Amino acid sequence: MTEKPANAMWGGRFAMSPAEIMQEINASIGFDKALAPQDIRGSKAHAEMLAEAGIITKSDAREIVKGLDKIKAEIDAGTFEFSRALEDVHMNVESRLKDMIGAAAGRLHTARSRNDQVATDFRLFVRDAIDGIDTALEGVQRALVEKAEKHAGTVMPGFTHLQPAQPVTFGHHLLAYVEMISRDRGRFADARKRLNESPLGSAALAGTSFPIDREKTAEALGFDRPMANSLDGVSDRDFAMETLAAATITAVHFSRLAEEIVIWMTPQFGFVKLSDRFTTGSSIMPQKRNPDAAELARAKVGRIAAAFQGLVIVMKGLPLAYSKDMQEDKETAFDALSSLRLVMAAMAGMIADLEPNAEAMRAAAGRGYSTATDLADWLVRELKMPFRDAHHVTGSIVKVAETKGIDLEALSLEEMQKVEPRITKAVFSVLSVENSVKSRTSYGGTAPQNVVKMARQWLRRLEKGRGKV
């Protein structure tokens, strides 16, 4: 007796069911059911186009659209039963549609393939994800800008090599991340622009002999135009790789900020505090306040970057057009984009919650001879000394202060004049950290007046929706 194939949707060519392990490796419904809203949108647009082109009847199209709306309602309500035997979201939706409206459901797949169907669904999903990411990134920018404006004059040490370098302000430091996120938003916007072409109508790989209107389905789904080559339409995953690359860079930026929060919260630094809302305790050490939200945000870049690398490796050796390898394009991408959304929400919350310890920051800013460059600049400006000579003189003065165990501004004029006799008492005007930051008035510098001006510019840009490069 001949065994019937498990999947009646494609079983005409097959006399037997696939092996159990074949079903296990082949099925994608466990993760691609996330594409159900996009699959239904694409199917509705396709059905309406088929009717207008006279390929199916308008009454069949109406039944199809009505049935798809009911399926969407079931999915939203959580009552839709996804079947593993039907492999993927496309077959699950079509099978349920057949249960609802009968034979007319079989006309929906006219002039398309699962190849262009999944390519369309995935593009729609990624485009929706980018729009949500952009909104979330704007929220993080706003939290940073508001905190930066409030602390435009709060002095802190600037670091290179994690060693005290020059004084900056906390507001200036936060605005650096606003600029970074602006570039992140620009990368996502660029990726969105390039992905916004419709593969629907490419069919399996060669297009179709039916008189379809690809411009119509592209417009109905919000795409700028149809993709110009059917082979490219079904085999391209650049849009996912580009979006994951942008997500990876964004996650790196958040990881860097998270790392700084972790460092700043240590008692050795004591620069910032987070409330109970964004910290956890220890099961054994009652004194602990752990910045777990920041640590987890720092770690998420691992899985996001891995998703990008994973897709690159999947795609690197594939011939045109569709190969089943490409089923591996979605699961990790879904996870990566979900992880990034979680990181953004956590970071926005932490930034709003975070309170700087201005006294600790100010004290740290004065350590490590951080105004040495100001002294060198003064020697160049006032004594017309070549910078390399000024650098040498300043190093010698720093050595004197270090030997005595005091800050530069605590040195006497006489002690500095032993190194360079032309130094006058006017030099003390540049040796305090407050005067140091006030003097950095060049465009993009840390002077408080600059920070206030830039923060207000950013607030206006965000109000107008222009918070990206």
What is the pairing mode between strands 163-169 and 197-198? Answer: unpaired
Whose CA is closest to 60, among 51, 68, 71?
A: 51
Peptide bond into 333 cis (omega under 30): no
DSSP characters for 298-341? HHTHHHHHHHHHHHHHHHTTPPSS--GGGGGGSHHHHHHHHHHH
- DSSP β-bridge partners for residue 355: 273
Structural tokens at position 342: 């979680």
**Among 21, 141, 41, which Cα is nearest to 90's?**
41
CA angle 138, 139, 145 (to 5 degrees): 85
Which of 59, 275, 282, 323 is an active site residue? 282
Could you say which DSSP state residue 355 is in?
E
| CB contact at 8 A, 80 and 64 | no
User: CA 185, CA 138: separation in Å to the nearest integer?
Assistant: 8
429 belongs to the catalytic site: no
Q: What is the DSSP letter of 153?
A: T
The residue annotated as part of the active site, out of 161, 283, 412, 442, is: 161
Catalytic residue at 28?
Answer: no
Cα 383 from chain centre = 49
Residue ranges with strand state E in 299-449 = 355-356
DSSP character string of 180-203: HHHHHHHHHHHHHHHH-EE-TT-T
Closest to 443 measured CA to CA, from 432, 453, 433: 453
Give kind and range of the element (H or E) at residue 15: none
- How deeply is 443 buried, as exposed, middle or buried, from its count of CB atoms within 10 A (0-12, 13-18, 19+)? exposed
The residues annotated as belonging to the active site are: 161, 282
